Amino acid sequence: MGNARRVRMAIVLGALVFTPTIDAQDLFNKRFAYESFMGNLEPVTGPSGYLFCSTVRFGLGNIDGFQFTRLDSTGSVLGTKAFTTGPLTNVMQYGSLARLRSDGTYSFLFGSRIGSGYKWSIRLFNSSPQGAMNWNRKLEYVNPDYSIYFIGAMEQAFEETPDGGYLITGLRKKPSSSQTDTVSPMIVKLDGVGNVLWNKSYDLGQMCGWHIVSQVGPSGETLFGFHADTPCMTISDNCLLTRIDPNGNTLWNKRVNGLHGMFTGTAMRNGNYVVSARDSSSLYLLELDTTGTPVWGMRYALSFSLSSWNMTVVPTMDRGFLLTASMPDSTGYFPDIYYFKVDSAGSVQWERLYGNENSGALIDLEANNDSTFTMLSMRQEGPFHWHMFYLSKLDSLGLNGCITPVDAILSAMPFSFSTIDVVLNEISPAFISQSAYVNDSTAYDPTMIESCSWPVNISEPEQGVELLVYPNPTSGKIWIKANREMQGGTLTIHDLVGRRMLSTTLLSSRTTIDLQGLPNGVYVYHAFASTGQHVSGRIIRE
């Protein structure tokens, strides 16, 4: 979190002795540099734990490309593979997506164009887990005025269908005589090797909202959601849902009445659709059956204004959900990642905050089969705003020693909405799929460093904080005394590179910590109460 939002606190630490050990449940928080942007984190079974893909600009001879990295379940790198996509070919610097397919292969999706031209295409690749290219496709509209404008991130956008094919959603753009081009939601269905089976787009006026949502059901039907306004608006009273059968036939079109906002994500539960949404300061969960009839709704009013990014819904193993947002600091900048858990009835169970003094963004948040979570995030750090990424394994309560528990940031209440039938202007412009250039390139594994987001930032002592660390400097053991409000909180110690050396739960009035296993040097400690209050300082080992 930014220092401007540090909260006053008092702390209690437990009378236990700890030496640096591996954290419970193999939790971790790893920091690494990576070229360009990523669109998602893909859980992978078998020898790998995770897979992520990035579009990259190699900077030599105007040759662009992409790469993917495989990690094990502890966040350690198994290998990286890189490819070029040809001379004078630019790749989209956002929206790159990776998927593990049911046959064990990997598929990758992003946008590209020739030179600085108007027309963007979709690039689709399929490879073995080791990076042997099986096939690749370039997907584009035949009409030279039609371009792929956006391929959604923080949403499914690129899914395997039950028949082994692919479903891709995005936005279609064409030049306009006005200053604002026409942008339309688009959906494309492919077979298992990337051939086009059908496509649709929706002409809704001058401009439609950029964020679209989709969900493929177990029988192959697709729920597709978007909002439309003229001119483009972030908050809309024209939020639309359409359901499409596996062959591209429309089953129904609905407008959601009562919501003045936009959709942010989708999930399925008990055969029904659950759609998340937002307005300027609230998040929503809307459940509908397969006929588009409302079943249930909840509104979560937040104590801060919402931006357009970092929002999605994540279904959990207990039939509840995680919802996410960006929480700005007191200056309105440098947002932190805010997320909260609700049970199957929509009641809030806990709230969490993750961030530091740098501007950050959530890339993906995944629920694991053991009720833990894995989060991939990005921050712009340093004087040149380098992109640094953080891979975080969280326990079932959304914590790992680097996460701040918070409370009372939101209030929950039931929300009523209705749906009405509408007619949408559907078109199916010609869309082609063909092989395109791809070749191997040099790849470099990222270096993963165990690190919280704020390892070397020390908050100033605040009124009401009573924390005593002694002896300091120390040759080995230290004792920490504080007052009572910190019971059940956490303490972490980091080196100045940002590697976490120790993390423990604080249980009672005094804690003894043995640092003899650490090299001599300066370390930083952070202590958090369960309320989210925080204090930090330096420890010298000599």
pLDDT digits (tens, 9 = 90+) for 424-433: 989 999 999 9
**157, two tokens:** 């956008």
Q: Shortest CA distance to 244 belongs to which of 355, 161, 149?
A: 161
pLDDT at 182 exceeding the cut of 50:
yes
Query: Domain map of the chain by residue range?
Result: 35-142+431-445, 154-228+236-258+419-429, 260-416, 452-541
How do residues 87-105 score in pLDDT, each as one tens digit? 656 666 556 889 999 999 9
452-541 matches 260-416 in CATH topology: no
How do residues 352-373 score in pLDDT, each as one tens digit? 988 766 667 888 899 998 899 9
Longest dimension (CA), the chain: 75
Cα three-residue angle 510-515-521, rounded to 5 degrees: 125
CATH top-level class of 260-416: mainly beta
Contacts of residue 511, defined as CB under 8 A and 6 or more positions apart, other chains included, come to 13, 14, 15, 16, 18, 479, 480, 491, 504
Please compute the mean of the pLDDT values over residues 315-336 and round it to a whole number: 82
Amino acid at 445: D
pLDDT at 438 exceeding the cut of 80:
yes
Q: What pTM did the predictor assign?
A: 0.77
Region of residue 148 (phi > 0: left; psi between -120 and 50: alpha; otherwise: beta): beta
Cα three-residue angle 393-371-1, rounded to 5 degrees: 40
**124, two tokens:** 């689709």
Please compute the mean of the pLDDT values over residues 59-72 and round it to a whole number: 74
Backbone angles phi, psi at 138, to 5 degrees: -110, 120
Beta bridge partners, 494, equal 500, 524
Top mean-pLDDT range of 185-189, 387-391, 451-455? 185-189
Please compute the mean of the pLDDT values over residues 123-131 and round it to a whole number: 92
Cβ(374)–Cβ(346) below 8 Å: no
Q: How far apart are CA 474 and CA 467, in angstroms?
A: 17
pLDDT at 526 exceeding the cut of 80:
no
**DSSP assignment of 45-81, as one string?**
-TT-SEEEEEEEEEEETTEEEEEEEEE-TTS-EEEEE
SS3 485: helix
Q: How far apart are CA 376 and CA 389, in angstroms?
A: 7
Q: How far is CA 228 from CA 68, 185, 232, 502, in A?
A: 35, 9, 7, 50
Please compute the mean of the pLDDT values over residues 285-309 and round it to a whole number: 92
pLDDT value of position 16: 31
Using the 8-state DSSP alphabet, how is residue 214 labeled?
E
Which residue has 């250039």 as its token pair?
Answer: 437
Amino acid at 120: W
Please compute the mean of the pLDDT values over residues 323-350 and round it to a whole number: 85
SS3 26: helix
How do residues 199-255 score in pLDDT, each as one tens digit? 999 887 656 556 789 999 999 999 999 887 655 555 677 899 999 999 999 999 999
Give the count of alpha carbons within 13 A of 152, CB side only: 32
CATH top-level class of 452-541: mainly beta
